[in-house]
């Protein structure tokens, strides 16, 4: 069973970008998958920034989310190897666009 992390909550204005930062281990093939963007929203990975632990260490994956209409959306990021079905962790994100 996947480890479910505490929900991240954001309350941006319409069109405002929020940044979701999640630790991954790409050297081991374990990365966060980008959930499908709800209608009126965009999700992009803007960068992966390695930490200071050296080769094989964790990397901070950063995603931007922007929505063009008000309302609440739920996103579910999954930490896994893309070629496996095993989900190692789940990061729920709630965005309440004002």
Of residues 54 and 7, the one with the higher pLDDT is 7
Domain count, the chain: 1
pLDDT band at 44 (very low <50, low <70, confident <90, very high): confident
Question: Whole domain around residue 67: which residue ranges?
Answer: 3-97
What pTM was estimated for this model as a whole? 0.84
Q: For 37-97, what is the HEC assignment?
A: CCCCEEEEEEEEEECCCCCCCCEEEEEEEEECCCEEEEEEEEEECCCCCCEEEEEEEEEEE
Over residues 54-91, the pLDDT tens digits come to 666 678 889 999 999 999 999 999 999 999 999 999 99
- Split at pLDDT 50, 70, 90, the class of 50 is low
Residue 34 pLDDT > 90: no
Q: What is the CATH number of the domain that holds 58?
A: 2.60.40.2020
């Amino acid at each position: 069973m996947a480890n479910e992390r505490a929900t991240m909550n954001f309350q941006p204005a319409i069109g405002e970008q929020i940044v979701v930062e999640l630790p991954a281990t790409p050297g081991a093939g374990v990365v966060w998958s980008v959930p499908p963007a709800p209608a009126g929203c965009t999700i992009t990975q803007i960068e992966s920034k390695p930490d200071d632990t050296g080769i094989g260490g964790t990397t901070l994956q950063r995603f931007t989310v922007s929505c063009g209409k008000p309302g609440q959306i739920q996103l579910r990021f999954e930490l896994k190897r893309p070629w496996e079905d095993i989900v190692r962790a789940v990061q729920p994100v709630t965005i309440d666009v004002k």
